[in-house]
Structure 1
Amino acid sequence: MVHVAEITRWDELASLQLVWRELWGKTRRASFFQSFEWFATAWKHFGDTQSFRVLVVSDGNEVIGLLPLVLRRESSRLGAFHVLTYPLDNWGDFFGPIGPHPTATLLVALRHLAESRRDWDVLDLRWVDRDRCDQLRTPMAMKQVGLVPLAQIWDRSAVIDGRMGWEEYWATRSSKFRNNLRRAEKRLLARGRVELVRYRPAGATWGDDDPRWDLFDACVNLASRSWQAHQDHGTTLSHESVYGFLRDVHEAAVKLGCLDLNLLTVDDQPVAFAYNYVYEGRVFGLRTGYDPDWADASPGNVLKFWMIRDSFERKDEEFDLGPGSLASKEAWATGSVESYRYTYFSPRSPRAQLLRWKRWWDTRLFSTEQLLARRSA
């Protein structure tokens, strides 16, 4: 018989580690953000302000799927709401159920939510990879259990298809773009000995799990000098509000073989970084930055140029440049992918119903591009 257990306490989470690891390995297009280690680290650092939970779906004595969620308080012009959503919090661009049976996991877990006492105003399943992975499983499951959702685009990410090969990829870039990169490369090479340090350890299973804190600290130092560091509510590597979390996540990523750290140096001096995660040949660009004192030599672009070329040589399947700032990424990308949100507004919450009508009207008043711009503003 299929049933659901709900994990809501930190001391219960450890019991899931082995089965989570097994299911993660069987998840279609899984990412580091869906690992037990990432979720446990997020719970450790943000559990005081958010309520983390995992819906464990079992068939008899066998766990067939997991649905990690978080209950958080979010503000809007209509007031504050208790929102039940995935725990990604915009660190990555896609999320979903863990395991090889997403349809059954979603259906059983969502039925559990529909029939249980609600401590939420809005069920908002964001970051859904509708076209490549979910294939409308989420909205269909929600409808089937009576949680009829409003579907909206959530974000758009620029990606590079690594399966085409470097020569083909490079030939598809505009001549202006290629010439600008070559000139930037030449300017930087004239300043000294330029080296790309790319650290991608295989993980603890292979005895290759040195965290290389010297490289991590070099990235943090560059991040502290970049323009992002001066944002009031930023989440770059050096921001105090997330530094401890990202440091612990760094260690977890190293142990899993999911770290991809890139540092560009000139005469051994770090001038630019790209901090990524990687899993099963798919790279996700988390954060980048460069030393503003070297801005005239375009070290950030040279780093990206060398790093992407190296990814093709390594046979990486995909390089996800991340959501947002698409205008600066279009020249590099071979395409874009969209994430979606599926939202159910509790009829027991009058403000949630007002929010539903506002969202509904927004989809008719504004274009997709306008909606994306309004959400990111």
Structure 2
Amino acid sequence: MINIKAITRIDCFKELGSIWNSLLQQSESNTIFSTFEWLYTWWEHFGQDKRLFILLAQEGKDIIGIAPLMIGKKRILRCVPIRVISFIGAGISDYADFIIVKERERVISLFFEYLLKKKNLWNKIELRDIKMGSPNLDVVQKELGKLGYFSNVCSVEKCPYIEINGDWNKYYSSLSKNFRQDIRTQYNRIKKNGFIHRFSSKEKDVDDIFLNNLIDMHLNGIAGKNKVSFLETEKGQGFFKKIVQKFEKQGWVTINVMNINDKVASYALGFRYGNKFYYWNVGKNNKYDNYSPGKLLLQHMLKESFFNINIEEFDLLRGEENYKFRWTKLERKNYQITILSDTRYSMVVFKAYDFYHSILKK
């Protein structure tokens, strides 16, 4: 018999650390953004105004499924408060999912059955960034048809990626001729100006001073470009430093740097987890913009990946920035599951919301 248990206290969440990653690695949802280190650190920095609502599926004494959920508050129509269930890590995590090791259909059915019994706690369920190909997604879609609530599944993000097959020359020659010429031009421009460039990587002994420099470079790089970054907040910077420190202990973090005349021109902070490399956070020194240091560094990293037998995919993660599609035509979509509660308050609020937007469209 499978029972569902809710975890609502942070000390109980912390106790799950001893088994969380083992269950994750047995599941088909195994990304670095579902590791215990990532989610617990996220909660420490961003969970103050939210409520833990982790669901465990237990078969006897064994945990066979985890729904890493939380309850937060949002406002619609600028002033009407609603309570929303979402995945822990929402907003910063590029991927999120249920962690299920067996009895997938039964576990997901029981998760939603439990959520419906607790509908007094929420007005909306919004589970976003479930990766295309997740076996949980198909099961959830079938389950939604049984609920009798308003619900839908829609794509919300594209995540370009590159398959690493060991043949760098074949891959590189498949890129646009003009794009490859532009890369050669940038290298020639550096040489012509008498500059020396050097690539390096750092995986250990990452201190706060170094990370602060990366944060400054990242923020300076996006200044005035109508971009938003979680590193603009104190909480975001605290999370950044803490997760790098935790991942460093696991051997999951790599910081690649391009220097021009011994000055950092660009950096790319990524994660090696399983057989994938996640290209997560980047920055550049605006002084060297004319040499496209971010582009040159990414080319170097990709080439290195093609000669690393342990990497099978280079994931550029969420976002449809033009530069990503110069490196690949491959992409996968992330999906969002939405369910609206049928409580009287919820129905009134969402009908008012729909009415308001119908007026705006006229």
Normalised to the residue count of structure 2, the TM-score between the two structures is 0.88
Higher mean C-alpha displacement, 320-329 vs 337-346: 320-329
Indicate the residue corresponding to 2:87 in structure 1: 86
Q: What is the CA-CA distance between 1:175 and the residue it aligns to?
A: 0.4
Indicate the residue corresponding to 1:327 in structure 2: 322
**CA separation in 2, counterparts of 1:270 and 1:30?**
34
Q: Report the secondary structure of 1:188's partner residue.
A: helix
Does the CA-based 8 Å contact 2:119-2:341 persist in structure 1?
Answer: no
Indicate the residue corresponding to 1:336 in structure 2: 331
**CA separation in 2, counterparts of 1:196 and 1:66?**
41
**CA separation in 2, counterparts of 1:229 and 1:263?**
23
Indicate the residue corresponding to 2:113 in structure 1: 111
Q: CA RMSD in A?
A: 2.7
Q: Report the secondary structure of 2:133's partner residue.
A: helix
**CA separation in 2, counterparts of 1:330 and 1:230?**
20
**CA separation in 2, counterparts of 1:136 and 1:199?**
40
Percent sequence identity over aligned pairs = 20
Q: Report the secondary structure of 2:190's partner residue.
A: helix
**CA separation in 1, counterparts of 2:163 and 2:287?**
33
Does the CA-based 8 Å contact 1:229-1:239 persist in structure 2?
Answer: no
**CA separation in 1, counterparts of 2:235 and 2:225?**
13
Residue of structure 1 aligned with 2:276, choices 282, 295, 299: 282
Indicate the residue corresponding to 2:201 in structure 1: 198
Q: What is the CA-CA distance between 1:63 and the residue it aligns to?
A: 0.6
Residue of structure 2 aligned with 1:223, choices 203, 214, 218: 218
Check 1:116–1:334 CA distance in 2 against 1; reply closer, same or farther (3 A cut): same
Indicate the residue corresponding to 2:264 in structure 1: 270
**CA separation in 1, counterparts of 2:61 and 2:148?**
28
Higher mean C-alpha displacement, 313-322 vs 171-180: 313-322
Does the CA-based 8 Å contact 1:32-1:253 persist in structure 2?
Answer: no
Does the CA-based 8 Å contact 1:152-1:341 persist in structure 2?
Answer: yes
**CA separation in 2, counterparts of 1:292 and 1:358?**
47
Q: Aligned pair 1:25/2:34, yes or no?
A: no
**CA separation in 1, counterparts of 2:160 and 2:208?**
29
**CA separation in 1, counterparts of 2:38 and 2:115?**
24
Check 1:305–1:299 CA distance in 2 against 1; reply closer, same or farther (3 A cut): same
Q: What is the CA-CA distance between 1:174 and the residue it aligns to?
A: 0.8
Residue of structure 1 aligned with 2:177, choices 160, 172, 175: 175
Check 1:214–1:36 CA distance in 2 against 1; reply closer, same or farther (3 A cut): same
Does the CA-based 8 Å contact 1:345-1:352 persist in structure 2?
Answer: no
Normalised to the residue count of structure 1, the TM-score between the two structures is 0.85
Superposition map of 1:353-364 within 5 A: 353-354=350-351
Indicate the residue corresponding to 2:244 in structure 1: 250
Check 1:188–1:75 CA distance in 2 against 1; reply closer, same or farther (3 A cut): farther
Does the CA-based 8 Å contact 1:107-1:142 persist in structure 2?
Answer: no
**Which ranges in structure 1 are unaligned for 5 or more consecutive residues?**
201-208, 366-377
Q: What is the CA-CA distance between 1:360 and the residue it aligns to?
A: 11
**CA separation in 1, counterparts of 2:100 and 2:196?**
47
Q: Aligned pair 1:305/2:302, yes or no?
A: no
